[in-house]
Amino acid sequence: MIFKPPLIHGRLIKRYKRFLSDICLDDNSVVIAHCTNTGSMKSCIEEGAEVYLSPALDPKRKTQFTWEMIKINGHWIGINTLIPNALAYEAVVNNSIPLLSGYTYVQREVNVGESRLDLMAQNDKETCYIEVKNVTYKEGQYALFPDAVSTRGKKHLETLIRLKHEGYRAVMLYIIQRIDVNVFAPAKHIDSEYAQTLREAFDAGVEIIPVIAQVSPTGIELTKTIKLEWV
């Protein structure tokens, strides 16, 4: 994924009301940028840190910028929660995730009962349902999810379990938008119910695939799958 038009550099003044952030641009002007991340942003927010914004394509939008990434301890972290869905779609279409290759048809935003899953992929052998989550929370070498209680995420897992029982391939895909981690685990100290449901999904045969994304001001690229641990 390449950023077009180029991103705009600045520094974070503050995040507030969950969806808003004040950013000081390099010309010392202050703008309001939309923050798509509804979580706590634990371990990926620091006032005064470098950030990059994308300009809004719609001139009528209230906030004319979207906050894309932040630099923490020398590493860029992607905080736009809409990016992983696009990355996942591109990856499945282009066969760039080995565990999710070989599909000839890929559809985004698929309604399944009362849930909506991010991707459905098909070939002449199977139908695969994929839910995608953005991961930014880090403790030590662990990438953890979620960073806040996720009732909606738990519902998605329950849908994947049901689909697996019905004979479909079901995948929980975690896109980790930072490179300073090497293990993925559920954040049971934040949302024990989500962690328990993830384990139930795993035991039911739902595949859990955590993938690292290399984030830079010019673009974002999926690089490697990392291991899952139950800690």
What angle is formed at CA 77 by the lines to CA 68 and CA 118, rounded to 5 degrees? Answer: 70
Are 45 and 77 in contact by the 8 Å Cβ rule? The answer is no
Pick among 2.40.50.580, 3.40.50.720, 3.90.1150.10, 3.40.50.300: CATH of 8-78: 2.40.50.580
In this predicted model, what pLDDT tens digit does every residue of 137-155 receive, in sequence order? 999 999 999 999 999 999 9
Contact, 69 vs 36, CB < 8 A? Answer: no
8-78 with 83-228: one CATH topology? no
List per-residue pLDDT tens for the chain, 231 residues long.
899 899 999 999 999 998 999 999 999 999 999 999 988 899 999 999 999 999 988 888 889 999 999 999 999 999 999 999 999 999 999 999 999 999 999 999 999 988 899 999 999 999 999 999 999 999 999 999 999 999 999 999 999 999 999 999 999 999 999 999 999 999 999 999 999 999 999 999 999 999 999 999 999 999 999 999 998
Domain positions in the chain: 8-78, 83-228
DSSP lists the bridge partners of residue 8 as: 53
d(CA 147, CA 40): 6
CB 131 within 8 A of CB 146: no
Class of domain 83-228: alpha beta
